[in-house]
């Protein structure tokens, strides 16, 4: 029997390997709660390795794309900056692959959910720009690299009224989120801001030109707030509505 669950492609991370790692050779990784969050929301999670040249082929076989976060940054050159902050860490192959998957998903108009760095990549794809290191630009900012465990809340975000995100969280004005980033969206390009932290840092974007193209800066796969589970349900539901 063919599964009726929407197939959700989830991007993997790529580690170069080493003596004290899982393997001495290059290996792919993904935190399990990305997968379980999609499955719990009714989706069929499928991990996507990082092959930029296969972007269109992969996107032809999925109903939705989840761009995950990771301990790396988007190349500043991709949003028009020639200077690179010392804290910036790049993973060029991953960025190339995720950019290819994102472009192919937009061509097919399939739903996209971006988390943390995934949201930042979406903003850049929409012509936006990033803050390379929050503390340098806002010394009084909240601790966006929270000291407490990631499965606990760090701060609250205010949801922008009349956005798609506001509708997904039943019109709630504020939700609790975790936080694990040193960069942030500066401008969303063609996108629309849908969530903002108390210190003014952009925490969510969406693109009204697409049926479901939504990114959040926090990590909803941890399910800290009921809004996190609602977001995954809405994403999977949108993926299941493809014709």
Domain 7-240 has what CATH class? Answer: alpha beta
Return the pLDDT at 224. Answer: 97
- Judge whether residue 221 has pLDDT over 90: yes
The span from the CA of 211 to the CA of 54, in Å, is 24
Return the pLDDT at 26. Answer: 92
Tracing tokens 């909240």 back to the chain, one arrives at 142
The residues spanned by each domain of the chain are 7-240
For 178-198, the pLDDT digits (tens) are 999 999 999 999 999 999 999
Q: What percentage of residues in the chain have a pLDDT greater than 70?
A: 98
- Judge whether residue 9 has pLDDT over 80: yes
DSSP 8-state symbol, 116: T
Helix spans in the chain (H): 32-40, 55-59, 92-108, 117-125, 134-137, 164-168, 226-240
- Judge whether residue 162 has pLDDT over 90: yes
Q: What is the pTM of this model?
A: 0.96
For 34-57, the pLDDT digits (tens) are 999 999 999 999 999 999 999 999
What DSSP string describes 199-214? TS-EEEEE-TTSSSEE
The model's confidence at residue 16, banded by pLDDT at 50, 70 and 90, is confident
SS3 142: coil
Q: Write out the catalytic residue numbers.
A: 116, 219, 221
């Amino acid at each position: 029997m063919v599964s009726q669950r929407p197939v959700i492609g989830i991007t993997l991370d790529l580690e170069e390997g080493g003596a004290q790692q899982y393997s001495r050779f290059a290996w792919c990784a993904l935190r399990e709660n990305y997968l379980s969050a999609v499955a719990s929301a009714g989706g069929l999670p499928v991990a996507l390795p990082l092959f930029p040249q296969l972007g269109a082929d992969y996107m032809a076989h999925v109903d939705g794309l989840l761009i995950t976060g990771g301990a790396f940054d988007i190349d500043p050159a991709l949003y028009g900056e020639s200077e690179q902050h010392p804290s910036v860490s790049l993973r060029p192959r991953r960025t190339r692959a995720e950019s290819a998957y994102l472009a192919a998903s937009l061509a097919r108009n399939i739903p996209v959910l971006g988390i943390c760095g995934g949201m930042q990549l979406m903003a850049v794809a929409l012509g936006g720009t990033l803050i390379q290191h929050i503390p340098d630009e806002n010394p009084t900012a909240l601790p966006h690299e929270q000291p407490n465990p990631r499965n606990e809340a760090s701060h609250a975000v205010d949801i922008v009224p009349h956005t798609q995100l506001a509708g997904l969280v039943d019109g709630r004005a504020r939700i609790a989120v975790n936080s694990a980033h040193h960069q942030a969206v500066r401008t969303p390009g063609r996108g629309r801001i849908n969530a903002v932290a108390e210190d003014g840092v952009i925490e969510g974007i969406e693109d009204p030109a697409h049926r479901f193209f939504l990114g959040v800066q926090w990590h909803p796969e941890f399910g800290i707030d009921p809004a996190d589970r609602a977001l995954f349900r809405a994403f999977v539901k949108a993926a299941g509505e493809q014709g």
